Every structure is written in C-alpha cells, then in structure tokens.
C-alpha cells in the first residue's frame, strides 16, 4: 500500500507541476449505460444487416463488437 501511495503522490505532483487538472476516479455506478452514437448511413445499414442475420437488436450487435475489441486489449 505504501508503494501505491508513493506512486499517487508522484503523479499528483506531476499534474500540479504541469498545471493540469487531477482526474477524478471513475466509478462504474456513475454510468447508466446510455450512449448517444452517430454514424454513417452505410455503417448503420451494415450493423442492421448483421443484427438481422444474428436475430439481435442493433444495441446487442454493437455490444458484441465492442466486447470483442475490449477483450483483445486485456
């Protein structure tokens, strides 16, 4: 725990030296799950086509695509 506190202190000092705002911690409960997303008509069509093929909603298909990408980054 001492090492974590040292790293945090160093990070805070760097933010202050650079005159940058210290970011607030993110909490999952702060998010409701609603995202307004705009795209091209072509992409909308392709996602709708894929959703129909999989018998899923647009949101479900987009979630699957995002899940696939996020799992590759971990």
pLDDT in tens, 32-67: 999 999 999 999 999 999 999 999 999 999 999 999
Q: Which helix (H) or strand (E) holds 23?
A: none
Distances (CA, A) of 27 to 55, 56, 67: 33, 29, 19
**Mean pLDDT (whole number) for 21-38:** 90
Q: With bands split at pLDDT 50, 70 and 90, how would you rate the model's confidence at 23?
A: confident
pLDDT of residue 74: 60
Distance CA 69, CA 57 (A): 19
**Mean pLDDT (whole number) for 12-35:** 91
CA dihedral sign of residues 50, 39, 64, 34:
negative
């Amino acid at each position: 725990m001492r090492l974590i506190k040292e790293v945090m202190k160093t990070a805070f000092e760097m933010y202050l030296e650079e005159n940058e705002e210290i970011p607030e911690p993110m909490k999952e409960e702060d998010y409701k799950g609603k995202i307004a997303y705009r795209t091209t008509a072509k992409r909308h069509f392709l996602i709708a086509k894929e959703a129909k093929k999989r018998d899923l909603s647009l949101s479900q298909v987009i979630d699957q695509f995002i899940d696939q990408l996020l799992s590759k980054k971990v």
